[in-house]
Chain A
């Protein structure tokens, strides 16, 4: 943040100190991990095996997903318990592209139909699978599918002024409905097996180390750009209206702003970010199935954001990485059966003892240390959630 005198004459910097630190760390990771994977021999202690690269890449897509939740929960107060649906839709759009790349290499060798359709005795490709053999079309769908769902859903919900718990419940219902729909074989998305056995992406072998590294780096780039976009949005006049809606929606309406339109724009942007995260996630984990729509997934994202610090952006990304690291660590050991209890316990503990999350608490601490007097007349830098 800027210092006192400057803040009045110059618009505040786009990136705060923590934002710059975040982007630097991200850049270092994006460079270091590939180097340690490629340039260091496997017997070395600092070698990063390819499976770890993909694991880290998965964390980065989760971090982007968490960022998308923080944009609407942290800054507009929309507690979406259905964000996983947008992530999954982005993932399915990418998965459909990857399925069509398989071509004759499938078990049944059909040049057009994916295996599961041949298995179901389908003769023709359903219309909604058209175009997914072209990457640009699929990439567009990665944005449009979640974006349109958010637009329609949000238009109805915000216009009828559904807020708070009710809004959370209907977002949860939305993802649950999609879960049930995608489980059905006749929906045409592979039923409960989902889409998998991918062979290549844009002509590159999806299993190859090089491809995995590129996907990892792309995930880091997407996270960095997503962060800059969110930061730009929340610091704009538009973003200030969002925070105002979070704190006093009625006042915003009486000031002449259409609160529902602001919410809708934020909701759609957030859904698209989640879709991009899903699209980067699928090629790295090699599968997308309906379990991605499960309500519990969406709730987990909220825990990541709460742990890292709601309304701080950086915190959301940090929380996603930390909690998922813990998840990987614990679910592979003897403590595996207890992971869900630990996650629940973590959420309760954070709510009770660290309500502002890790980064939010750090900001408070930094604010207290900074010498200033609260005498009227002395400007006080804003420790607001925007920083």
Chain B
């Protein structure tokens, strides 16, 4: 990328903050987003380390989806810094496509697959590779690509659905397909918004297992989820958002013991 920002704007930051920045895969500092005067994100700051998996919880309207919108370039923050790759890349200067190309993949809250394409074509489209228009007119699928897709099919357990249309899948299957598409993209960081909504208990457990496997393979993951059993299954660091900022952070037990968290979220 030619238009990636350097460390310059932060050169004068305190040494501690700088170390945090250079070691983080994702670094958000004092990010504020307002919609018609309403603060969806309010000076939100946190970091995600390389290889880390992080769960994000919080009541409806806490700003979880907006946080992902900011990271992926869908929404521009009014104020604040969003850096990727140890502070080398300023995400607020890039658009969705550039950010995706950098290695940030996203699963939407409402499962979004290409409905009139087959499940197989959905994965083909997502698979890491040529993205430019003209070369893709003459593109042929390589044996390596075919193998990789077969692997992903195994992982997301949709092998026998490969020739069905994306739109014909059940809600839970769409969620998995979308995770599979993320895997195919092979991003450094996966942002996963409510992956188990509409899933049975068994499917939920399988999804936790799947995400843990993805994380174990070296991908960093940020998962937003309301399902506490699922969050417990993940067994990772938890962050609770409320009114656009971090209310509490720590292990699930620490966070769920926090009085404020119980008050605004768990004790509803």
A residues apposed to B, CB below 8 Å: 4, 7-8, 11, 233, 236-238, 240-241, 243-244, 247-248, 250-251, 253-259, 261-262, 264-265, 374, 376-377, 379-386
Contact = CB atoms under 8 A, between A and B. Distances in A.
Contact of B97 (A256, A264, A384, A385): A256
13 contacts: A240-B121, A240-B124, A241-B136, A243-B117, A247-B114, A248-B115, A253-B95, A255-B126, A255-B181, A258-B132, A258-B133, A265-B133, A382-B165
B114 A257 contact: no
Contact of B164 (A236, A250, A258, A379): A379
A256 B73 CA distance: 12
Given A236-B139, A254-B72, A381 B114 contact: no
Contacts, number: 108
Interface string B81-102: 0000000000000011100110
Q: Give the residue among B97, B115, B132 with the most A Cβ atoms within 10 A.
A: B97
Contact of A244 (B108, B117, B133, B165): B117
- Helix, strand, loop or mixed for chain A's interface? helix
Nearest to A381: B163
Contacts of B132: 258, 261
A233 B163 contact: no
Given A261-B132, A384-B165, A256 B116 contact: no
Interface in B146-175: 160-165, 168
Nearest to B140: A11
B80 to A, nearest CB: 21
B5 interface: no
A353 to B, nearest CB: 22
Nearest to B178: A251
Contact of B96 (A241, A248, A254, A380): A254
A236 B160 contact: no
Contacts of B202: none
A39 B125 CA distance: 53
Contacts of A379: 160, 162-164
A14 to B, nearest CB: 13
Which bucket holds chain B's interface residue count?
35 or more
Interface in B245-266: none
B108 A251 contact: yes
Nearest to A256: B100
A129 B205 CA distance: 72
A105 B159 CA distance: 72
B137 interface: yes
Nearest to A380: B164
Top 3 closest pairs, chain A to chain B, by CB:
A379-B163, A256-B100, A253-B96
B106 A380 contact: no
B77 interface: no
Interface string B180-191: 010001000000
A317 to B, nearest CB: 21
Contacts of A259: 97
Contacts of B126: 255
A256 B117 contact: no
Given A237-B124, A248-B114, A264-B133, 11 more contacts: A237-B136, A240-B121, A243-B116, A250-B112, A251-B108, A255-B100, A256-B101, A261-B132, A377-B160, A379-B163, A382-B163
A355 B140 CA distance: 34
Q: Give the residue among B108, B130, B132, B133 with the most A Cβ atoms within 10 A.
A: B133
Nearest to B116: A384
A256 B126 CA distance: 8
